[in-house]
Structure 1
């Protein structure tokens, strides 16, 4: 994901992203492309609300990535029940959203990877 989009999402959701460390050589923390930016922003807003409403030390996101053509989010502890539906909805949405541009997409094999891409982005070299 481009660093500017990533910075905005992280700074707007400081509770859930307080433990998220850079994972890529360029300093990126999200291991997916910018087409999922809106999806991640919406999910992050919902997760932040839940985290702030929970008593005690709130959960934190430790990894955000694409795996087998879907958004995966990992936490520093077992996922609390209130966020299961949020994660399922984001997972389902990622399976039909182009990871590169955010338009409607389909699961596509781009050797050696499986990605969700729209018809226009399939034609572009990745």
Structure 2
């Protein structure tokens, strides 16, 4: 297991308000290169939640889809303003993932390999 994968796997224990049921059923369905993006997103969401002790989030799924980060969650007891802040944080992370190699975390670009989209750097790129 890589250090990045270990970081991802430790997030449910580090952020119990985001992962109230513990580890995700299918785990983190993305490459290790995005571990920093997901970690920073969890830190941001936890900070936003501190503003409302009664509010909660449940992270449902974290994966790659169409070459970008998808972070699915539900929230309860949040104001409209807080819901917007949560959504903006997730959208910012998803946008950042479109420029970060999913495999290694270096700066990357979208690659279409036989219809499969993914963001890779020049080192991880698979040439046709």
TM class by smaller structure: 0.7 to 0.9
- Residue in structure 1 matched with residue 48 of structure 2 by the alignment: 50
The structure that is strand-richer by fraction is: 2
When Rg is computed on C-alpha atoms for both structures, the one with the higher figure is 2
State the TM-score, normalizing by the size of structure 1: 0.82
- Asked if structure 2 preserves the Cα contact closer than 8 Å seen for 1:36 and 1:97, the reply is yes
Residue deviations 1:90-120 (CA, integer Å, cap 9, x gap) = 1111000000000000010123420000011
TM-score (norm 2): 0.81
The number of equivalent residue pairs is: 119
Where does structure 2 lack aligned partners over 5 or more consecutive residues? 77-81
Taking only aligned residues, the RMSD between alpha carbons, in angstroms, comes to 2.3
Tell me if the contact between 1:43 and 1:87 (Cα under 8 Å) persists in the aligned partners: yes
Show the counterpart of 1:14: 16
SS at match of 2:95: helix
**1:120 and 1:62, CA in 2 relative to 1: closer, same or farther beyond 3 A?**
same
* Runs ≥4 residues deviating over 4 A: none
